[in-house]
Amino acid sequence: MDPRRQTGAVPAAGSLQSYADLASDVRARAPRLGVVRLVAVDGYAGSGKTTFAERLGSTLDAQVLHTDDLLEGWTDTVGFWSRLESWVLAPLRAGRAGAYRRYDWERGQFAEWHSVPSAPALVVEGVTSARAVVRPDLAMSVWVEAPSAVCLARGLARDGEALRPQWEQWRRDEAAHFALDRTRDHVDLVVDGDPTVPHDPERHFVSLRSQGSIGRC
């Protein structure tokens, strides 16, 4: 963790934190991607990243970019980054608006373009979104985790049992990436994507202090 980005006390494991407070923390941090405060929400597929990112983005009044929209199919776990860099990050870094072309998973090809303005904040959500190469640009990085079995069950419930082979290969690919990148060791905040602590999920999330949980995705 970069101590220059830590603006407050690290919450105790299993403690509640509000999206409003987290959004205030993001706004208080200096932009590192041009004028944009870039927030990356990373973690294994099915861990709860999308839900967390959407709630934070809504509270921040910030656009949420899902890296799934940049993937060219199931085998593009890591290689999509050149598109994110050239279409979005490089223009924002230079003070210009970016744009990306959404991948249509049903048709198997890229479709329409979406604009990404040079705004006060941008949330990028998806597997490998907080990888080492982007860390100098990040105002904040978040890791969302849940038990491995929960992650797989969520994925199959969404995509169908017929896609189990693709899910199993994806899980091997993301595990290989995270083993090399050690993403979780470098994030600012670890979030429980399958919490048992009673709370209002629209307003609060459960933060974790512990690093390297065993058997979680």
- For the cut 80, the answer to whether the pLDDT of residue 12 exceeds it is no
In a domain, 159, yes or no: yes
In a domain, 31, yes or no: yes
In a domain, 83, yes or no: no
Given its phi and psi angles, is residue 128 left (phi above 0), alpha (psi -120 to 50 degrees) or beta? left
In a domain, 188, yes or no: yes
Q: Residue 82 carries which side chain, given as an amino acid letter?
A: S
Q: What is the pLDDT of residues 108-128, one digit of tens each?
A: 999 999 999 999 999 999 999
Give me Rg for the CA atoms of the chain: 17
**Mean pLDDT of the 138-142 span:** 97
Q: What is the pLDDT of residues 37-83, one digit of tens each?
A: 999 999 999 999 999 999 999 999 999 999 999 999 999 999 999 99
Q: Which two tokens stand for residue 119?
A: 């705004």
In a domain, 7, yes or no: no
Nearest CA to 141 out of 14, 16, 53 is that of 53
In a 10 Å sphere around its CB, with 0-12 CB exposed, 13-18 middle and 19+ buried, how is residue 159 labelled? middle
d(CA 214, CA 111): 39
The CATH code of the domain that includes 183 is: 3.40.50.300
Q: Are 125 and 65 in contact (CB under 8 A)?
A: yes
Domain that includes residue 202, residue range? 16-65+122-208
In a domain, 82, yes or no: no
In a domain, 176, yes or no: yes
Q: What is the pLDDT of residues 155-201, one digit of tens each?
A: 999 999 999 999 999 999 999 999 999 999 999 999 999 999 999 99
DSSP letter string over 127-139?
TTTT-GGGGGGEE
**Mean pLDDT of the 91-103 span:** 98
Count of domains in the chain?
1
In a 3-state reduction of DSSP, which class is residue 37? Answer: strand
Q: Which two tokens stand for residue 164?
A: 């189990």
In a domain, 40, yes or no: yes
What pLDDT does residue 6 have? 34
